[in-house]
Amino acid sequence: MEIKKFEVLPRHIGFIMDGNGRWAKNQGLKRGEGHIAGAKVFKKIGEYCADLGIECVTFYAFSTENWSRPQEEVNGLMDLFIEYLIDGDARLEENKERQMKLKFIGEREGLPEELLELIEKAENETKDYNKITVNIALNYGGRAEIVHAANTLVEKGLPITEENLSRAMYTADMPDPDLIIRTGGDFRISNFLLWQSAYSEFVITDTLW
């Protein structure tokens, strides 16, 4: 893909990857096929952001509310996350070449054991890469994150202040998103980065992810 040159870049972009199901329906395919195509777009956009020189990107991949989808769809999504991570040497080479640090944000509890092991391995293997941080929000909910952060402060006996809460978020060492892009045309935040998006600009596009 051709890399445009920009004078000013956002430091952190959040993506709400919406519209896979509608895309599949339009093509006469099953929703699962939409997610398979969506995973390819996720890879492409991640690489593009890395090549542009963006410091941090967060992809909303699976919300705490998405567990209520049909079991078959949920299983298909979990398999896709596993497949992406298991992509062995090819993915690792790619992460290394682009110096992409992978990080998963969200609740670990409830995720399949195999996926958890792969997440830990991928985070560990890429922890020293330093050009772009790619956050994957998986089993993520903004409200749950704030509650989690507040509980962490209580456990440590720290006062609940904005600064302390920010430091207890999953994104503690990252800038807040300057820009949040949602595909699929809905003007909604859907529980994504609630705390961090206080000053973010929003772009909603009708294009399906």
Catalytic positions, written as ranges: 18, 66
| Segment lying near ligand IPE (by CB under 6 A), choices 42-50, 109-117, 148-156, 180-188 | 180-188
Q: Which is nearer to Mg ion, 23 or 104 (CB)?
A: 23
Q: Kindly state whether residue 21 participates in binding ligand IPE, applying the rule CB under 6 A.
A: yes
Radius of gyration of the chain (CA): 17
Q: Kindly state whether residue 152 participates in binding ligand IPE, applying the rule CB under 6 A.
A: no
Q: Which two tokens stand for residue 56?
A: 């941090």
Q: Kindly state whether residue 16 participates in binding ligand IPE, applying the rule CB under 6 A.
A: yes
Angle between helices 71-86 and 88-97 (to 10 degrees): 70
Minimum CB separation of residue 63 from ligand IPE in Å reads 4
Q: Are 198 and 12 in contact (CB under 8 A)?
A: no
Task: Pick one of ligand IPE, Mg ion, none as the site partner of residue 62 (Cβ within 5 to 8 A by kind).
Answer: ligand IPE
Of all helices (H) and strands (E), which one includes residue 113?
Answer: helix 113-126
Q: How far apart are CA 152 and CA 182, in angstroms?
A: 30
The sign one gets for the Cα dihedral 187, 190, 195, 200 is negative
45-74 positions binding ligand IPE, by CB under 6 A: 60-63, 66
Q: Kindly state whether residue 18 participates in binding Mg ion, applying the rule CB under 5 A.
A: yes
Minimum CB separation of residue 182 from Mg ion in Å reads 10
Q: How far apart are CA 49 and CA 46, in angstroms?
A: 5
- Which positions lie near ligand IPE, rule CB under 6 A? 16-22, 60-63, 66, 77, 184, 186, 188, 190
